[in-house]
Amino acid sequence: MDMPLFSVDLRKIINKQRLQIVTCEEVVDSIKITNMDVNRPGLPLTGFFDYFDASRIQVFGKMESTYLEKLSPEEEFEKIDRLFSAGIPALVITRSLQPSEQMIRSSIERKIPILRTEESTSRFMSALIAMLNVELGERITRHGVLVEVYGEGILILGESGVGKSETAIELVKRGHRLVADDAVEIKKVSEITLVGSAPDIIKHFIELRGIGIVDVKNIFGMGAVKDTEKIDMVINLEQWQQHKKYDRLGLDNETIEILGINLPALTIPVRPGRNLAIIIEVAAMNNRQKRMGYNAAEELNKRLTDDMERRQNESLN
């Protein structure tokens, strides 16, 4: 069996989901979660353990709690203890329900933490799964810059020295936000979504040749930075090549594949006099329009076609 590539500390989940630790706090820091799926153990409580995945966090809601209340103390302990003996990482009880004495006893004996949240079961599970998808998703690191421009996550790629960081700082000055400079950690959080962030050690820093390292958060304020952002588009900056043909209409929908997901992509040539920040702003707004169903290049092409047909009809008449 392949070993899981990534893990997240149970303590981090507790802190982010604001969970109360009911039992076994002394073992919490040694537990790592490797499975992004979550389970409600209704069938296992009845004794059906086929296909049971013990690596998942288990969640008790009102249904599970009500079922256990109908059992005798001995039967309840037997069923809970069998679940805990499977080696689950933790059990979360929702709606601030109180664990029974049998549950607490088995938890302490098996050293399986019981946690509690005041959230409803469905709401808590949705939030937990979303967090685990981010923390445990497949990931790579790309050399580039990630910025948020008009709500669009723009990943800027290109060779060293082409002007990625300078363009990013100009975008920040124009009111947009920096997510990552130099190294962008890209995580696949669903089959259609990539999220980018900066490694913790360089978060909110940017390198400008001739100046050095700049702390964007301290210079421009909290509103100039963002910890994570969905990647909506990729822009590749390259030095202008005299004889290369660049797309001038935008009818060709280029894409780039990252972690199995195809993203819209543009190649923008760089040469003196071009304001890359403004070009990227327009590219971000144009990409949003395309996702909303409007393509300016296709509209222009339609107008030209209609005009040609009109002229042909007039000439025939």
205 and 295: one domain? yes
Catalytic residue among 32, 95, 110, 182: 182
Q: Can you give the pTM of this predicted structure?
A: 0.74
18 included as an active-site residue? no
Choosing from 16, 111, 143, 230, the catalytic residue is: 143
Each residue's pLDDT tens digit, 256-279: 999 999 999 998 888 887 889 999
User: Residue 3: its pLDDT value, please?
Assistant: 44
> Domain residues for 275?
138-299
Between 305 and 2, name the one with better pLDDT: 305
210, part of any domain:
yes
Q: Is 164 a catalytic residue?
A: yes
Question: What pLDDT digit, counting tens, does each position of 177-234 carry?
Answer: 999 999 999 999 888 999 999 999 999 999 888 899 999 999 999 999 999 999 999 9
SS (H, E, C) the chain: CCCCCCCEEHHHHHHHHCCEECCCHHHHCCCEECCCCEECCHHHHCCCCCCCCCCCEEEECHHHHHHHHCCCHHHHHHHHHHHHHCCCCCEEECCCCCCCHHHHHHHHHHCCCEEECCCCHHHHHHHHHHHHHHHHCCEEEEEEEEEEECCEEEEEEECCCCCHHHHHHHHHHCCCEEEEEEEEEEEECCCCCEEEECCHHHCCEEEECCCEEEEHHHHHCHHHECCEEECCEEEEEEECCCCCCCCCCCCCCCEEEECCEEEEEEEEEECCCCCHHHHHHHHHHHHHHHHCCCCHHHHHHHHHHHHHHHHHHHHHC
Among candidate residues 79, 116, 164, 226, the one labeled active-site is 164
Q: CATH number for the domain including 86? A: 3.40.1390.20
Catalytic residue, from 70, 248, 252, 271: name it.
248
Tell me: do 60 and 106 sit in the same domain. yes
Residues 113, 173 within the same domain: no
Residues 130 and 179 in one domain: no
Q: Are residues 110 and 209 in the same domain?
A: no
182 is catalytic: yes
Residue 56 is among the residues annotated as catalytic for this protein: no
